[in-house]
Structure 1
Amino acid sequence: MYEMKIQCEATDEAIDFCDLLAEQIARFFSVHDRDMFVLSVHEAVINSVAAIRQSGEETEKNTFVLSLRITEEDVTVTVTDEGSGIPIKQIERMREKSLEDMLLAESGRGLLLIKETMDDIWFERRENGKCAIAMKMRRGRNG
Structure 2
Amino acid sequence: MEFILNVNPDTQAIAYVDQVMENYTDVYNLPFKRELRFVVHELVINAVAAVEKIGPYCKKAIQVHVSHSNKEIKITVTDEAKGIAENDWDKVLQFDLNELDYSDRGRGLFFVKNMVDHIWFENISDTKFLVGVSKKIRV
TM range (shorter): 0.7 to 0.9
User: Which residue is equivalent to 2:2?
Assistant: 3
User: Which residue is equivalent to 1:31?
Assistant: 30
Residue-by-residue CA offset, 1:31-55 (whole Å, 9 max, x unaligned): 3311111111100000000011111
Q: Verify: 1:104 aligned to 2:100, yes or no.
A: yes
Equivalent runs, 1:16-95 vs 2, <5 Å? 16-56=15-55, 58-61=57-60, 63-88=61-86, 90-95=88-93
Task: Answer whether contact 2:52 2:58 (CA < 8 A) is retained.
Answer: no
Give distance in 2, aligned partners of 1:90 and 1:102.
19
Task: Return 5+ residue gaps in structure 1 as ranges.
Answer: none
Give the paired residue count: 137
SS of equivalent residue, structure 1 residue 69: strand
TM-score (norm 1): 0.82
Task: Answer whether contact 1:29 1:139 (CA < 8 A) is retained.
Answer: no
Residue-by-residue CA offset, 1:84-128 (whole Å, 9 max, x unaligned): 212446422145x35x64783433201111100112111123144
SS of equivalent residue, structure 2 residue 29: coil
Give 1:28 deviation, angstroms: 2.6
Give distance in 2, aligned partners of 1:21 and 1:35.
13
Give distance in 2, aligned partners of 1:68 and 1:129.
22
- CA distance 1:89–1:101, change in 2 (3 Å): farther
- CA distance 1:48–1:18, change in 2 (3 Å): same
Give distance in 2, aligned partners of 1:102 and 1:22.
34
Give distance in 2, aligned partners of 1:102 and 1:25.
38
Give distance in 2, aligned partners of 1:129 and 1:12.
21
* Identity, % of aligned positions: 26
Task: Answer whether contact 2:82 2:126 (CA < 8 A) is retained.
Answer: no
- CA distance 1:134–1:109, change in 2 (3 Å): same
SS of equivalent residue, structure 1 residue 5: strand
Query: 122-131 or 17-26: which moved more?
Result: 122-131
Give 1:70 deviation, angstroms: 1.6
SS of equivalent residue, structure 2 residue 110: helix
Task: Answer whether contact 1:30 1:140 (CA < 8 A) is retained.
Answer: no
